[in-house]
């Protein structure tokens, strides 16, 4: 049954689900119609497998803005030292760049890639087969042109089957809708797999299914390979960018991921967004995660609600003005009088 469905490639039948492009020869039509990068939000085409590429969307105002996180728990810092510095009355500070965490954001995509890569490496390294750690392999599975009109889900199903045939045990899959040449990018869907197994009968698989499986070399590190693959992968709101299959799927392998570093190195409290209220000019360098120690009196926890872009001084002035006028109102018009007015 399964064999038969894959065999469609050789049967000359038109592929199913042509994404509404009837009358256009499958494969060729997509290539001719969409050379270069697609604008975001072409919803009619988003239903096809030509997903947007990482970083090709729009940034938000707060994307990439630097700020300081820190801990002002001076009680907890009493009698402690950090790298030989007495922490009495000191604040622990860390520089952070604001990120919207969206892979399509042209400013923040690299952060997204970094975080996804970390998790992927942890998951791959957690896999053990009969007590042994295996060496990861990197293979590319290319979709045959006659299947270019298939939906992403159908393509992926075929790729899973092809991988099973060549005895890939499991791993992660990253989808690339495009390839690049000197003229730009063109639709050429393929899947990158980083996983485990022994690739056998790749040639026979190609003869049967048309899906080309190529074993490509790993970069120097697992992280380097995955980071590179994620840097130009296809992004869809409906599908995860990294999917796990076989022995490494979520149902089969449970991994406890390391928490991101966001606590005070002195007392272990959670770091919070801070505002500088000192008088001397301050220029902390914009280096992600860089740590500083400063007098705690020169800092306050950010009083603004999350996401507010109002200047801190303006915010504090406005809040104290509102509070004062509220008190004034209470002084001028005590509650008793209001009842009196109501009688008229």
Binding residues for Zn ion, rule: CB under 5 A, are 59, 63, 71, 73, 92, 100, 105, 107-108, 264, 266-267, 269
Minimum gap (Å) between residue 145 Cβ and Zn ion = 36
Which residue number, 109 or 127, has a Cβ lying nearer to Zn ion? 109
d(CA 49, CA 41): 14
Q: Is 271 helix (H, G, I), strand (E, B) or coil?
A: coil
Q: Quick one: angle between helices 222-230 and 109-126, nearest 10?
A: 140
Which residue number, 100 or 242, has a Cβ lying nearer to Zn ion? 100
d(CA 269, CA 301): 13
d(CA 100, CA 110): 11
Minimum gap (Å) between residue 77 Cβ and Zn ion = 6
d(CA 32, CA 187): 9
d(CA 283, CA 68): 11
Minimum gap (Å) between residue 290 Cβ and Zn ion = 17
Minimum gap (Å) between residue 62 Cβ and Zn ion = 8
Which residue number, 71 or 93, has a Cβ lying nearer to Zn ion? 71
Lookup: tokens for 69: 């996180």
d(CA 226, CA 114): 9
Which residue number, 100 or 174, has a Cβ lying nearer to Zn ion? 100
Minimum gap (Å) between residue 100 Cβ and Zn ion = 3
Minimum gap (Å) between residue 119 Cβ and Zn ion = 19
Which residue number, 108 or 139, has a Cβ lying nearer to Zn ion? 108
Contact 200, 167 (CB under 8 A): yes
The answer for residues whose C-beta is within 8 angstroms of residue 200's C-beta and 6 or more apart is 166, 167
d(CA 53, CA 275): 36
Which residue number, 58 or 325, has a Cβ lying nearer to Zn ion? 58
Which residue number, 26 or 106, has a Cβ lying nearer to Zn ion? 106
Which residue number, 104 or 213, has a Cβ lying nearer to Zn ion? 104
With CA atoms as reference, report the closest residue to 149 among 9, 243, 48, 59.
48
Minimum gap (Å) between residue 89 Cβ and Zn ion = 12
d(CA 179, CA 36): 10
Strands laid side by side in the 272-276 sheet? 291-295, 90-97, 66-71, 272-276, 299-301
Minimum gap (Å) between residue 93 Cβ and Zn ion = 10
């Amino acid at each position: 049954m399964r064999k038969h469905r894959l065999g469609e490639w050789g049967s000359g039948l038109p592929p199913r689900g042509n994404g509404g492009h009837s009358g256009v020869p499958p494969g060729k039509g997509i290539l001719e119609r969409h050379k270069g990068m697609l604008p975001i939000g072409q919803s009619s085409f988003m239903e096809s497998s030509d997903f947007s590429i990482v970083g090709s969307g729009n940034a938000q105002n707060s994307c990439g803005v630097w700020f300081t996180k820190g801990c002002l728990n001076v009680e907890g810092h009493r009698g402690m030292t950090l790298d030989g510095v007495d922490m009495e009355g000191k604040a622990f500070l860390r520089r952070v760049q604001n990120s919207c965490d969206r892979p399509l954001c042209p400013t923040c995509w690299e952060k997204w890639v970094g975080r996804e890569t970390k998790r992927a490496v942890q998951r791959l390294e957690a896999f053990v087969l009969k007590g042994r750690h295996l060496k990861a392999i990197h293979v590319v599975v290319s979709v045959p042109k006659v299947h270019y009109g298939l939906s992403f889900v159908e393509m992926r199903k075929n790729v899973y089957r092809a991988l099973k045939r060549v005895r890939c045990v499991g791993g992660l899959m990253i989808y690339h809708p495009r390839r690049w040449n000197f003229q730009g990018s063109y639709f050429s869907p393929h899947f990158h797999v980083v996983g485990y197994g022994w690739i056998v009968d790749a040639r026979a698989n190609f003869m049967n299914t048309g899906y080309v499986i190529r074993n490509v070399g790993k970069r120097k590190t697992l992280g380097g390979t995955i980071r590179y693959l994620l840097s130009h992968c296809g992004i869809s709101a409906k599908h995860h960018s990294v999917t796990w299959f076989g022995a490494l799927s979520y149902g089969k392998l449970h991994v406890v991921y390391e928490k991101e570093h966001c606590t005070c190195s002195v007392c272990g409290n959670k770091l919070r967004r801070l505002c500088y209220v000192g008088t001397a000019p301050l220029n902390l360098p914009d280096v992600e995660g860089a740590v500083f120690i400063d007098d705690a009196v020169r800092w306050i926890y950010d009083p603004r609600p999350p996401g507010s872009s109002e200047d801190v001084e303006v915010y504090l002035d406005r809040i104290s003005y509102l509070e004062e006028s509220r008190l004034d109102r209470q002084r001028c018009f005590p509650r008793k009088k209001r009842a009196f007015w109501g009688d008229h």
